[in-house]
Structure 1
Amino acid sequence: MEMVSYDEDPEFSMVYENFSEVSDRKAAVKSPSAEDKKGTAAEPDTGVKICRLVAVGLGLMCIIQAALNISLRLAHFSLNNSLTEERDECKKINLGIEARFRNLTEERDELYRTVYDTTVIIQNLTKERNELKRMLNDSTQQVWVSFNGSFYYVSSTKKTWQDSRNDCLQRGADLMIINSQEEQNFARRFRKYMWVGLNDKQTEGRWEWVNGNAMTTSYWSEGEPNGGRRENCGNVKNFEYDYSWNDEDCSTSLFWVCEKKTFP
């Protein structure tokens, strides 16, 4: 066959060159180079390394997670212990407060009793003081007067017949007994409307003295006694006159005269 040269035809030569370039490219695609082969062989090694790195990372994460769990458990345990100790301490404090409250309540009650007892003592002392003042006042205003073998005391206050007699008895005496004109005149000298020791309480109309002796000598005012069962106690009323006795309701409050014998 006859070989034809196309070098002489520039246009055809260009087509030929283009065709050759395309052929070379196809050949390059179909036949990889040694470097390409080396790169392709290295790709499996890189994947293994990545898998190993991922596994190591997961292992580290598991270790970290376990460490965190342990730390949380320890923290929770420590917190529980702390709360338990605080609770026990609060209980102790509460018990101490309750005990102190009971002690304060007992102290308060004891103070109340002390105040009450002190108040009672003060009241009693006040009564005694007032009684002493009254007795002192009586002793300064009225003194015992001696006459015919007896001592006589005339009150500065008024009482019923029985209360008057009780006062005389407390003084170691009794209401005055008048057995003579001399004693009658002596009683009139006090110039007071006052109880004497005469009554008919036991038997109406039977007048007797506080010593139980019957009245034998009398100094009744004109028309007396006239009270019947309503007026059973005797007194000196009209002291301006020799005959000055009067019967009166025993509950009337009058002055009184006490008599104390020098010799029983």
Structure 2
Amino acid sequence: MADYINKQVIELNKVNEENQNRATRSLKTETHLSDRRLRPYRLAAVCLGVLCVLQVTLNISLRLAFYNRGNETVEKNPLQTSYNTKTKERDQLQTSYNTLTKERDQLQKDRDDLMSKFSNLKQKCPEGWQKFESSWYFLSTVKKPWRESRQDCLERGADLVIVNSDMEQEFLFGLTKRAWIGLTDSVTEGTWKWVDGTPLTTPSYWHKLQLENDGDTPANRKEDCVELNTETWRPGKAWNDLSCSDNHYWICEKVV
């Protein structure tokens, strides 16, 4: 009896195991089928998620790009303004530098001229010369025509005197000699020029101007050269035009 019961129990256990195995296989099969059905949905969900991430990334990238471009524009304008300002300042400094350079060169030239004049002032007049202001003057002791008189001055490193002021005219008048000065219209009749080529403007100290033919002179006698007459006229009216071939004393001037 006991064996029979054991045998029944064993068979019952086998039946239970088979039922459990069937249930397990059935569950696995259903699970496997469920996974196969859900796989496309899961894949679609993953793809949708990736697309969302890409869209968000793209939006962020675009916003950053526009933001940076705006910042570059904002930053560029002040930089351009600053560059233009610095360029103007540079040009102004260059102009100021050029102006100061010219002024410096002019001051240097003026200084050199003053030093040269000062050095010359310390020199003593050669024998036979007289000093007045910044020039030396030589009064001849013999008489010659105007051109020969000028040649004598040139050989002495000077030229016939050029009158530049009332004070110089007074000084020359005080030499008390009728003498040639460096004024002529021998190149162009009626156009009076000094021996250095400058035209006569002012001051002038004519007594009377005999342009070419005076009433009491021969028709072929030109009066193209000027003398300083200290014998009969006042200093302010002491010039007279004469024929250049006349013999007179002369006055040389050397600027020192």
The TM tier, using the shorter chain, reads 0.3 to 0.5
User: Quick check: which has more Rg, 1 or 2?
Assistant: 1
Larger relative contact order (Cα-Cα within 8 Å, sequence gap ≥ 6): 2
